[in-house]
Structure 1
Amino acid sequence: MAEKLLEIKDLHVVYKTDEGCVYAVNGLNLTVNKGQVLGLVGETGAGKTTTALSILRLLPDRIGEIVQGEILLDGTDIIHCKDAELRLIRGNKVSMIFQDPMTSLNPILTVGDQIAEVLELHNPDMNHEEIQARVDDMLSLVGIVPERKNDYPHQFSGGMKQRVVIAIALACTPELLLADEPTTALDVTIQDQVLQMMRELKEKLNTAMILITHDLGVVANNCDSVAIMYAGEIIEQGTVEDVFEGAYHHPYTVGLFNSIPDLSKKTRRLSPIDGLMPDPSNLPSGCAFHDRCPRCMEKCVSQKPQPFVQDTHMVRCHLYQGDGEEMAR
């Protein structure tokens, strides 16, 4: 049986602003096993980045707040850790690749110094020569010649910056890597190179990963399991085979797949999901997807659906419950 590394239970996260309260994550449950790659998929505003920031307790100070739930990392509840304990966890046991490599690096420090900073913080016993040797190793690992460690971020392309960010994240060989849309700012050719490199590093270091993305093709090629997120909730979850080839799907998942162009078919228009993501400060009652759902029933408007579970596959939808059970294929 796979060993659990991260377990999130009933997580609720809000952002309190002058305009009101934004309910970003609402009762999220998630498990990541050691060495596993989990794809977290959903539209912009679904709560994916907030979930990742909550794991590292990096929510905006005095605005973002975890109001309920548990985040267990190797059995330790991150929510109740003190700042000193968190500093030992961040970058060491859990690292994060942020969305935009252009703003993730300090422009006035060389890339070598930025990698070395992580090593100095978490490995006080290492001397200068050992740290520099490790910096060279990390740059080589991500495909950058060590001689460039004295260059500054502006001297690198977008793809090379992302490689530096990955080198910083992996410097201390973390058990869990949070990759928040790591290829969004890159062109298609560089995207493939970066993803290939991340696959190789995962095999070498056995690092578990949460890969946040909009791209279902990236999920299919890189992930072991998938969680579909909508309005701060996981509405479908399972192995890649469950979500891509399973018999039962949430209508939102069906909509995501229908939005992908099919090169084997000639069509005049794409088939996007109608409507917009609900306002997180004023979430609808019942199923949050009901006002966009082509298969909405009366109960969907007023009742929250319970999870329907079959082996490793979970779907949170009224279609598969009680008298509304259709088991649509």
Structure 2
Amino acid sequence: MSGGQTTIFKFSGNTKEWFGIWIVNLLLSIITIGIYSAWAKVRTKKYFYGNTSLDGRTFDYHATGGQILKGRLIVIAAIVVFQIIITLMPILGLILLLGLLVAYPWLITRAMMFNARMSSFSNVRFNFVGTVGRAAMVFLLYPILCALTLYTTAPILDRTVKRFSIDNHRLGTAKFYMDAPLSSFYKAAGLALLWIIVVFVGAAAVGGFNILALGDMMMDLENDPTAFISFMISFYAVFFLGFIPAAFIYQALTRNAIYNGTTLTGGHTLYSNVAVTQMFWIALSNMVVVVCTVGLMLPWAQIRMSRYLADHTGVALGGSLDDFVGTQQEATSALGDAYSDIEGIDLGLPI
């Protein structure tokens, strides 16, 4: 492959194949009271990773169900112990809660390390090298400061979290670096907020929807319960039409900014040209179809979204991909055995 070539990701998964895996995952998870969900997660990631490729080279996921289950059991055990302690000894429970808050940055860095090291591209493992100290600032201090500004700095916080994750990831020994402009995050947040306002104003103008009337309806519930039920149906309809599409509007715009502002050692630049209107339509139509089919069309929706994202994501190569992969395989060959050890743990954290 020649340098300077732009290559698009390809997703080769299909609905029929994925539905078979998905339904088995679902049924076994129900039968085992959630225990099999750890193996279901592994099968899910392996399927989507293995069907995503760049120039014929695929991704892979190397964790086992046992490793995932171990992390979940630790979380469940910690929650049970915490509930018992806070019930019997509330003061000690509060102390433990503060301890957990302090430990959260360590937990999240270990989880990110685990997820990175269990993933690979063309047999080259990813890695995560973020520090606990920086994680404490990003996930503890900055959210507090964001709240103090009445969340007007939420786009700054989001950009900071994304930079912490991306800048500390490695593909082999190659470094990622994100330099997406802050203005893109504020623009995305502004358009998402504008959509919410338009939906609520439109609902008020067309159907007389008024969220301020909820208090009066609660007080008059015994006299006119049908009015309250009608209001709540309207409220949820407006909520889903307002907030869920707004989330996808924000995701599409920030995704483009993040990918287009991210580079990898060797002069390789990621890019994304997701269209807000198309992303919005896919998300909205997926939601309607999944709801109308009581969840049975969820695999179709997942495949549809994955294929669209892959088709609109790529890498502007700064050199030969074959040379890059070969170099990274040589550089990390001595570390191969180390990756077989658990250098972190999957805790199911939202990272």
TM-score range, shorter chain: under 0.3
In terms of fraction of residues, the more strand-rich structure is: 1
Indicate the structure (1 or 2) with the bigger Cα radius of gyration. Answer: 2
In terms of fraction of residues, the more helix-rich structure is: 2
TM-score after normalising by structure 2? 0.24
Query: RCO (CA 8 Å, sep 6+): is it higher in 1 or 2?
Result: 2
TM-score after normalising by structure 1? 0.25
